[in-house]
Structure 1
Amino acid sequence: MTRGLAAAAAATLAVGLASCASSDRGSDASSTAPGSGAPGSSASGSGGTSGSAGSGGGAAADTFIFGAAGAPSMFDPLYATDGETFRVARQINEGLIKFTPGTADPEPALATSWESSADGKTWTFTMRDGVKFHDGTTVDAAAACFNLDRMYNQTGAGATQAQYWSDVMGGFKDQKDDAGQPVPSLYAGCQADGNKAVITLNSSTSKFPGVLGLPSYSIQSPTALQQYDANNVQAQGDSFAYPSYATEHPTGAGPYKFQSYDQANNTVTLVRNDDYYGDKAKTATLIFKIIPSETARKQELQAGTIDGYDLPNPADWSGLKDAGFQVEVRPAFNVLYVGLTQGNNPALADLKVRQAIAHALNRQQFVTSQLPEGAKVADIFYPDTVDGYTDDVTKYDYDVDKAKSLLAEAGQSNLTLNFWWPTEVSRPYMPDPKSVFTAFKADLEAAGITVNETSKPWNGGYLDGVEAHQADVFLLGWTGDYNTPDNFIGTFFTRTDNRFNTGTQPWGAELSDQLKAADAIPDKDQRDAAYVEINKKIAADYIPAIPISNSPPAIVVAGNVQGLVASPLTDERFASVSKTG
């Protein structure tokens, strides 16, 4: 996870596309992005007209305009980690599978069915007949394998930026570690057998088949990928330049086709794919209008110049509903946690100190006072809708006296912690980071802990500093990509060189090995049971961080919008959306 997730991936491209800095994977883009206009200002040029409250905007009923929080980094999802790029990519592309609307359950997409061998290492996908990419070339098993091999064969800057591959699959074909040894990969290969794409893995994994529904694993046109030199990603100092495929010619098989990115007006325009194999998009044109300020997005929705936007502030939900807008609340599929950097502050190496911090935080008061209805205190690092969930773990109820007692036992009654929190960002699990920090700072001080405060912009030093282990304590979270425990705790703790620095603790490698072993169990019931035991050990014996809450985020659209299905994965597909009036 450490590689690139915290690094800014901004780049000025040859064609002038500005790339936004990477955000914490699985979450939406931050409130500002290069190329998206000054913070607090609204972008112009949507062509929308003013409307009455709740009526929505757009030039016509066959145009849907969505207010985006930031600019897409580019349009090749293989190299993306940010939510705004994925939001556009989901409309253009499809993978072998996708997720049933409103759920985290896989369903057929470019493949109509799939089956696994008993050992979980061979997956056979039967391809859908008669499907074409936007350039007219055929979607078949050979195209699917071409895409997976392309992902595996990334080198140089392309490998650096293909983070969803490295974080999920491991190494690339020719990748070596610092000792010159090959970096292990889950992926062994893909062969086209008639209309079947046969994917072989080096180990069974709970990630399959769900990971193949993510935008980064989209099946794109091999013809266009080759014609527009898609793999030619170039490092330019601390930033990256992308080839014309990623900036002007993304070519998928989804319900919308890419038309243009107008940087002057901060709009991305897609048009309906009339040759789409499934139900055709309800609107002829889909526009993403980049509006960095959440307040400005709300104002534009109220003015009727956009038809919807993501992550309205929970404080605005009631007023938006009263004005006739539709606030669709997603199921909570996220977690907020207070991270503890192991090995940074020697005191944090003591389990009693970590237990004391857990007891000092008044999580229930935070949930009640700052999060929307439906939010819950989290006792483990994923919500109860994820496989392998258990609440039969050691719990740390709010108890200031217990916290003080544990600190005294550890000889840390005068403990000082450097506590970091991010600015210029809002997350589904953390709508207002400053308020979160303020509440937890007061809790820690009530337990006798001195708190030194550091705040940095999310993409301007915060993520970099957290990944570099500069903070003792920090605020972060996660929105799930698909329904496996591995996508949460596996992402957090499998690598020992993670943001929690667990490799400095004697239990860090033990936890990593337990997670790898659990992920490789082919039988779901046995795998879920293994994750239950791991969660118990994380809560009782390790405490690498403190889970805080699961919060249901929302998406809001105008009153005349129909057909939107809110997704727990923020995986909304706008082809089903229509407008009346």
Structure 2
Amino acid sequence: MRISPVFAALLGLGALAYGPTALAKGNLVFCSEGSPGGFDIAQYTTSIENDAAEPLYNGLVEFERGATRVIPSLATGWDVSDDGLTYTFRTFRLRQGVKFHANKDFTPTRDFNADDVLLTFQRMLDPQHPFRVAYPAEFPYFVSMDLDKNIARVEKRDPYTVVFTLNSVDAAFIQNLAMGFASIVSAEYATQLMASGRLSDFDQKPIGTGPFVFQRYQKDAQIRYRANPDYWDPQQVRLDQLIFSINTDASVRVQKLRKGECQVTVNPRPADLKALAADPKINMLDQPGFNLGYIAYNVQHPPFDQLQVRQAMDMAVNKAAIVKAVYQDAGQLAVNFMPPSQWSYDPSIRDAGYDPDKARALLAAAGVKPGTPITLWAMPVQRPYNPNAKLMAEMLQADWGKVGLDVKIVSYEWGEYIKRTKNGEHDVMLLGWTGDNGDPDNWMGTLYSCGAIGSNNVSMWCDPEYDALVQQAKRITDPAARTALYQQAQQRMKQQVPITPVAHSTVHQPLSVRVQDFKVSPFGRNSFSGVSVD
């Protein structure tokens, strides 16, 4: 058996002499940008839900704060079989004594153990699981990464040992389990809610093992959390209260930050960056964005099922003008389907170029008549990968109008927008992605594969040649061999034009100078573990 490094779980060992009360200090208000659909993070894919769930849960493993390295969380380490198919997670040592939260309707009678791991994954694996039958739900991340097909079984060896057996090698498996969708939930809480017929509380009144405990949620207003007095790693609990103040208007968020009404904000407008950086009360953190803003063509809606039409629309987009106007000094023009910092990126890929005349000719050859109506869906929220979707949509409306298309811009509330696009109701839409785990499959498989249709693949594009390359790359572990396959897949995707990559944005994170030890996540997450306010 090949043994991976078993990480010593030292975070809590050095902190046992200190209680959370001694470490917690004051309140922090986070100016968030949208209302989460719920808190059962396995059901969601957007950063709004991820941020809202982050304080509440732990996974078996997690990413080191501000980095891409996977470290232990509710599991202290893992053994990997020689064939790469069996992953064994041992949840003993520090993990004994891990407490679940309580609320006014639920008080746990036992500590975290293997039964909670089984419930967490079996409800996603088995459509006939009692939880799933009683409370039908979709698990888009789990499905889009083919984990529903590749995990053969999850078994309990004893109360603190769980074995995952895979059907085939998955080079990204450990990284995938560090993502939010794999957060461990309480089997005891699920059983109680099934018995009482209140399983919707599982999503709306969440119970986890995380550093903060859910208190209440008022849609479009706020989410309130309090410090977890029983957290297994008390050094990470340095706030008494954590409040998400929900404001969809970026200018309002900035005003609140500058007035001290919130201490951290999200996604400032490019136009506000200079003033924020000059404010002595503001600390401006930034790093290259591990992201992509793109235009997706629904290939199941005519005329976008025709390659010539997608090529024409791609050529008609004046990307340089969009990047200058929308991203200003915080964007880099994109030509490929992942950021340049992602290993396996193919630097040889080039755009067809801005050519409205050729675009008109291609549309005519495809039988698309001048004045043909199409709908362009624009996001209602500001995202790191697209700071102003409304402006981008208006510029695209003008670009495509120049080649004879009659473009109508539509939008919906964010949750409805995501739901409808996953159902394939759109013609063309604006969206984007921030990488979740540092592995190429998180782009090439999770976003663009056949298995991701109905979840993250909003172009509804399924290409057998592309899919075969991506699936093969995921089943081997040699980085050079994987890179060769992923680069072939990138070339194939560029030929087929299911999306138009627009830009990679620089991530700017303004926060009060009073905030200590906040780490900018390469994956666009906002975590408040270990954060304090002086």
The TM-score with structure 2 as length reference comes to: 0.82
* Residues 326, 230 of structure 1: alpha-carbon distance in 2 compared, 3 angstrom cutoff: farther
Superposed counterparts of 1:482-521, under 5 Å: 482-495=437-450, 497=453, 498-503=457-462, 508-521=463-476
CA distance in 2, matches of 1:350, 1:170: 32
Kept in 1: contact 2:377–2:411 (CA 8 A): yes
Greater shift, 531-540 or 516-525, is seen at 516-525
Does residue 556 (structure 1) correspond to residue 480 (structure 2)? The answer is: no
2:81 aligns with one of 117, 120, 135: 117
Q: One-letter code of the match for 1:480? A: G
Matched, 1:319 2:275: yes
Write the deviation string for residues 159-217 of structure 1: whole angstroms up to 9, x where unpaired.
4243333333454xxxxxxxxxxxx4534223335754321112222441112112221
The 3-state SS of whatever aligns with 1:282 is coil
User: Is 1:476 aligned to residue 440 of structure 2?
Assistant: no
Residues 136-535 of structure 1: matches in 2 within 5 Å?
Answer: 137-152=110-125, 153=129, 154-156=131-133, 158-169=135-146, 171=148, 184=149, 186-192=151-157, 195-229=160-194, 242-243=200-201, 245-248=202-205, 250-252=207-209, 254-261=210-217, 266-277=222-233, 279-323=235-279, 324-346=281-303, 348-407=304-363, 410=366, 414=370, 416=372, 418-422=374-378, 424-446=380-402, 448-459=403-414, 462-463=417-418, 466-495=421-450, 497=453, 498-503=457-462, 508-535=463-490
CA distance in 1, matches of 2:196, 2:519: 34
Per-residue displacement from partner, 1:31-58 (whole Å, max 9, x unpaired)?
xxxxxxxxxxxxxxxxxxxxxxxxxxxx
Shift in alpha-carbon separation, 1:155–1:112, aligned structure 2, 3 A: same
Given that residues 258 and 271 in structure 1 are in contact (C-alpha distance below 8 angstroms), is that contact kept between their aligned partners in structure 2? Answer: no
Query: Identity of aligned pairs, percent?
Result: 27
Give the whole-Å Cα distance in 1 for the aligned partners of 2:448 and 2:468. Answer: 10
Q: Which residue does the alignment assign to 2:11?
A: none
Larger displacement relative to structure 2 (61-70 or 71-80):
71-80
Structure 2 CA distance, aligned partners of 1:354 and 1:275? Answer: 52
- Provide the C-alpha distance between the structure 2 equivalents of 1:168 and 1:384, rounded to a whole number of angstroms: 22
Q: 1:440 to 1:86 in 2, by over 3 A?
A: same
**In 2: Cα distance, 1:438 partner to 1:460 partner:** 22
Equivalents in 2 of 1:379, 1:318: separation in Å? 28
Offset at residue 395 of structure 1 (A): 2.6
Task: Give the counterpart letter for 2:439 in structure 1.
Answer: T
Greater Cα shift, 139-148 or 357-366:
139-148
Residues 149 and 576 of structure 1, relative CA distance in 2, 3 Å threshold: same
Q: Residue by residue, what CA displacement relative to the aligned partner does 1:497-519 show, whole Å, maximum 9, x if unpaired?
A: 5532335xxxx333333333332
Deviations, residues 336-371 of structure 1 (Å, cap 9, x unaligned):
11112224223x444333323222222123223321
Query: Do residues 546 (structure 1) and 490 (structure 2) align?
Result: no
Q: Distance in 1 between matches of 2:419 and 2:232?
A: 41
Whole-Å separation in 2 of the counterparts to 1:124 and 1:272:
29
> Aligned partners of 1:456 and 1:277: how far apart in 2?
43
- 2:66 is matched with which residue? 102
Preserved CA contact (<8 Å) 2:248 2:381: no
- Cα deviations by residue, 1:103-124 (Å, 9 ceiling, x for unpaired): 2332222223234334332112
Unaligned 5+ segments in structure 1 are 1-59, 172-183, 235-241
Deviates more, 1:294-303 or 1:257-266: 257-266
Gaps of 5+ in 2: 1-23, 102-107
CA RMSD of superposed structures (Å): 3.1
Structure 1 residue 458 displacement after superposition: 4.1
Write the distance in 2 (CA, Å) between the matches of 1:106 and 1:138.
24
Corresponding position of 1:35: none
Alpha carbons of structure 1 residues 72 and 438: separation in structure 2 relative to 1, 3 Å:
closer
AA matched with 1:205: D
Distance in 2 between residues matched to 1:74 and 1:469, nearest whole Å: 22
Q: Judging changes above 3 Å, is the alpha-carbon distance between structure 1 residues 552 and 265 closer, same or farther for their aligned structure 2 residues?
A: closer
The corresponding residue for 1:51 is none
